Structure formats: structure tokens, C-alpha cells
């Protein structure tokens, strides 16, 4: 799964720490998601979508191996 969290943060001009505080996770969780080392739960994905006011699909892309 890939994501564009880093780009979305840049657009809103917020740090990993600020985002983590807004959605109540650790900064390390945001960092791991941005690096593709952590796949968020459905609840976390929805919190991010709500924060950025976009759909989950606009943040995360499922990579398939066809």
C-alpha cells in the first residue's frame, strides 16, 4: 500500500508531530506510514481522511500484483 501523506502534510504545512497530535497517534506512526512500513487500521485511515477532508482512496493506494 502506498500513500501520499507527506504531500498532504506539505499542502497543509503541518509537521508529523502536529498531525499525530490531531489524530491521536504517535509521531513514529505517521513516520512509519509515510515510509510504507506501517499499514493503518481502518479507523486510523478514516481519521486521516476526515482530517484532510478527502476520501481514504485519495490518501492510500492499494498495490496489486496482477
C-alpha angle with apex 6: 39 to 41, nearest 5 degrees? 20
Q: What is the pLDDT of residue 15?
A: 98
- In order of their start, the domains of the chain are 2-55 (1.10.260.40)
* Tally of CA atoms within 13 A in the half-sphere of 8 that contains its CB: 21
Per-residue pLDDT of the chain (66 residues; tens, 9 = 90+): 899 999 999 999 999 999 999 999 999 999 999 999 999 999 999 999 999 999 999 999 988 776
Q: What is the pLDDT of residue 20?
A: 98
pTM: 0.90
Q: What is the pLDDT of residue 5?
A: 97
State the Cα–Cα distance between residues 54 and 64, nearest whole angstrom. 22
Amino acid at each position: 500500500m502506498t500513500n501520499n501523506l507527506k504531500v498532504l502534510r506539505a499542502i497543509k504545512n503541518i509537521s508529523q508531530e502536529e498531525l499525530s497530535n490531531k489524530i491521536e497517534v504517535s509521531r513514529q506512526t505517521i513516520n512509519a506510514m509515510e515510509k510504507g512500513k506501517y499499514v493503518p487500521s481502518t479507523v486510523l485511515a478514516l481519521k486521516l481522511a476526515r482530517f484532510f477532508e478527502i476520501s481514504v482512496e485519495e490518501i492510500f493506494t492499494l498495490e496489486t500484483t496482477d
